[in-house]
Amino acid sequence: MNELRDLYDINSNKTGKTYHKGEIIPEGYYPMVVMVVIRNSKGEFLMQKRVETKGGDWGVTGGHPKSGETPLEGIITEVREELGLDFSKEKFIEYDSGCDGKDCYKMYFVTKDIDINDILIQEEELSEVKWFTMEELQHMVDIKELNDDQISCFIKVCDYLKNNNVIK
């Protein structure tokens, strides 16, 4: 699928320019990446495992908003496409954003209890989903089972949650 996506400037402002998925991004323009950390009331984090053809690694739900979508609309679309869940009424907390020279990004956090059996994974993208404790995630970091982007995502969300007294 050749999705049309918006391009942003270094300050995360839409430029009015677009690109198709897979095209080379012009110098000085950046794609938007959105991610959401989903935590249940037991303090576990929902992780999804990519299919082997997409790297086979564990990570949070995320992707690129389609052209015309805001980053928040984009993450709602990604949750619907990848997990088969409607998060349109959820209260998202944006805990980090910026541009890192490669991408612009927005990271969201939401608390929601989800029965794994209610998840309809996008089989061309994902092989499984699972709840993980913080200790299990720390072990995955220690043995390099999470990539640097995912590690950074969790460090940032944990700092946010601690600094805002969401977790001790």
CATH code at position 108: 3.90.79.10
* Alpha-helix residue ranges (DSSP H) falling in the chain: 71-83, 134-142, 148-163
Residue 129's DSSP bridge partners are 48
pTM attached to this predicted model: 0.91
Of 98, 81, 80, 99, the closest CA to residue 90 belongs to 80
Q: Residue 168: its pLDDT value, please?
A: 46
The answer to whether 128 and 134 are in contact (CB under 8 A) is no
Per the domain annotation, does 70 fall within a domain? yes
3-state SS class at 31: coil
Supply 166's token pair: 């969401």
Tens-place pLDDT, residues 57-102? 899 999 999 999 999 999 999 999 999 999 999 999 999 999 988 8
Of 17, 71, 46, the closest CA to residue 133 belongs to 46
Supply 111's token pair: 């608390």
Per the domain annotation, does 168 fall within a domain? no
Tell me how far apart the alpha carbons of residues 133 and 140 are, in angstroms, rounded to a whole number: 11
Overall number of domains in the chain: 1
Number of H helices, E strands in the chain: 3, 9
Tell me how far apart the alpha carbons of residues 79 and 82 are, in angstroms, rounded to a whole number: 5
Tens-place pLDDT, residues 101-148? 889 999 999 999 999 999 999 999 999 999 999 889 888 888 878 877
Supply 77's token pair: 């679309």
**Structural domain of residue 63, as residue ranges?**
4-163
